[in-house]
Amino acid sequence: MKTESMSCRLGCGACCIAPSISSPIPGMPNGKKAGERCIQLDERNLCKLFGDSSRPKVCSDFSATLDVCGSTNAQALALITELEELT
């Protein structure tokens, strides 16, 4: 896969589950572990903090790309999990 920008797939949530996040998240002051669902991810896999200034910088800086997100939600979860394990 090549690094190519893409639009985020609404309802995917892979970037809110697979990676660890070391910065504080509202409701998760110590961040989150890899594979742990972010408390700010709603039942439709949408970020409750999207567009809010309290959203962690690491989250707002994330840009979906084909090489990280693949072409399906399941592929995104697998790819981001693999990247997390490699780092």
* Domain residue extents for the chain: 1-86
Q: What is the DSSP string of 2-42?
A: ---B----TT--GGGTSS-B-S-BTTBTT-B-TTPPPTTB-
| Tokens, residue 49 | 């903090």
CA neighbours within 13 Å on the CB side: how many for 9?
17
For residue 3, the model assigns a pLDDT of 74
Better-scored residue on pLDDT, 3 or 85 = 85
Candidates 70, 30, 79; CA nearest to 39 is 30
Q: What is the pTM of this model?
A: 0.89
Q: What is the pLDDT of residue 74?
A: 97
Give the tokens for residue 33.
């572990």
Predicted confidence band of residue 42 (pLDDT cuts 50, 70, 90): very high
Is the confidence at residue 18, as pLDDT, over 60? yes
